[in-house]
Amino acid sequence: MGSPITKLTICLIFSILTVLGLYAVSDKLTHEHNSFHRSFPPHPIIRAGGIDLKYNSYYIAGTDSNRVYLSNLTAPLHLLSVNLPDLDTTHIRLSIEDPENTKFRRNTKVEVLPPYFYITDGVTPRLLRGKIGEWHARRFMYDSAFFSVAIPIGPKSFALRSTSSKTREHVLGKETNKSPHVKLVPGLLEKQVDGIFCTDGMLHYNRELSQLIYLYHYRNQYIVTDTSLNLLYRRNTIDTNSRAKIKTATITSENSKTMATPPLMVNKRSATYGDRLLVHSDLMAKNESKKAFSKASVIDVYHLKRGKYEMSFYIYPYNELKLTNFEITNKNLIALHGQYLVVYNTHFDMFNRGLFPGKVDYTNIKTTPP
């Protein structure tokens, strides 16, 4: 007992246990407040294939019925077209009008909405458009509005998320070529804490329904509007987090505003196609095993027309890389796992057919790509 080595060992054990204890307490506080359940039908998605893109800086710029377009964060004028289901890739070089006076920034984004592709930059601001196939983009409409997100919703109109000059809070809006060009609709995004971090989320355009969807990152709500931004409805995701759990703070010495604690992320990623909204949730349900949840990425499927939660499924890591982003089309779920593009066949409708919704007709499921 008396020797220094014994004392040091006791100190060491005590120190490690203290840190582990703190970690366990904080982990418990952040993860154990969920009282909702998920249903996991068998095999709603089946992996069809994957390719190595060599870089992890690709993001999904858009899809059409048999193609995925990937743009690159570090090289905005390089576009990769991937054929479905063969996964043949074609490299495309985009050109722009007046390249000397065009700056690309971190938030410069390439969006593909057939028959056009768009290059958007909310800081300059600048909107460019070109035809798919010609791959030459030029300015084509009024583009003086600043924005943090711009999604093309028609040949000459964009849905925007911008910062209100009056309140300095996030606001949704629409930019068109007709005067008065920009229409902001305050009130769609509801402030809970600071109006910036607490209203952060994802803006999607659902082509098939011609509706806009805004899903919050930090609370369980999504907002659906028509293309003129008239509110159609607000609905909730299955978890119970109706208030954004965010604390903000200002660092005076750096003149910056930041989050004071890690925010409680509810909805990480999302995608929409047809009647469905798919959400990659960051919250564990009561009926899930912690092991599966921490290993895989859970996707919840919502039926927009019926207004209900349908099912959930896991996307497992591909080459040990977790899901980083995804998009859906009529038949496929297209996922990025770091530098890998992975394509899954979706079988969501199978669970709604027949006398026994929830039972699967396995004869129709192909486990290998045709």
Closest distance to other proteins from the beta carbon of 6 (Å): 9
Under the criterion CB under 8 A, does residue 19 sit at the interface with other proteins?
yes
3-state SS, residue 273: strand
In sequence order, what are the residues at sequence separation of 6 or more whose Cβ sits closer than 8 angstroms to the Cβ of residue 113? 62, 152, 153, 205, 207
Rounded to 5, what percent of the chain is helix, strand, coil?
15, 45, 45
255 lines the binding site for other proteins (CB under 8 A):
no
- Paired strand residues for 32: none
Provide the minimum distance between the beta carbon of 31 and other proteins in the complex, in angstroms, as a whole number: 11
Stretch that binds other proteins, among 17-25, 66-74, 170-178, 355-363 (CB under 8 A): 17-25
Min. distance of Cβ 51 from other proteins in angstroms? 28
Interatomic CA distance for residues 152 and 115, integer angstroms? 12
Return the residue of 98, 100, 254, 320 that touches other proteins, per CB under 8 A: 254
DSSP of 335-358, one letter per residue?
EEETTEEEEEEE-GGGGTSSSSTT
5 is a site residue for other proteins (CB under 8 A): yes
d(CA 81, CA 51): 13
Of 11 and 123, CB closest to other proteins: 11
Locate tokens 């949704």: which residue? Answer: 172
Q: Give the Cα separation of 131 and 67 in Å (integer).
A: 16
Residue 263 near residue 244, CB atoms below 8 Å: yes
Q: How far apart are CA 269 and CA 322, in angstroms?
A: 13
What is the SS3 assignment for 73? Answer: coil
- Number of residues in contact with other proteins, rule: CB under 8 A? 31
**Dist. CA 290–CA 128, nearest whole Å:** 46
Residue 14 touching other proteins (CB under 8 A): yes
Nearest Cα to 332, choosing from 268, 293, 269, 278? 278
Q: Which of residues 69-88 bind other proteins (CB under 8 A)?
A: none
CB of 264 to other proteins, least distance (A): 9
Minimum CB distance to other proteins smaller for 5 or for 355: 5
Window contacting other proteins (CB under 8 A); options: 105-113, 164-172, 210-218, 252-260: 252-260
Strand (E) or helix (H) holding 12: helix 4-31
Largest CA distance in the chain: 85
**Which uninterrupted H or E stretch holds 74?**
none
292 is an interface residue for other proteins by CB under 8 A: no
The least CB distance from residue 244 to other proteins, in Å, is 15
The nearest distance, CB 4 to other proteins, in angstroms, is 4
Q: Does 231 bind other proteins (CB under 8 A)?
A: no
Closer Cβ to other proteins, 7 or 131, answer by number: 7
Among 231, 251, 292, 365, binds other proteins (CB under 8 A): 251
Stretch that binds other proteins, among 8-16, 86-94, 195-203, 298-306 (CB under 8 A): 8-16
Rounded to a whole number of angstroms, the minimum distance from the CB of residue 315 to other proteins is 17
Instruction: Tell which positions 22-41 bind other proteins, by CB under 8 A.
Output: 22-23, 25-26, 29-30
Residues that bind other proteins (CB under 8 A): 2-5, 7-8, 11-12, 14-16, 18-20, 22-23, 25-26, 29-30, 247, 249, 251-254, 258-262
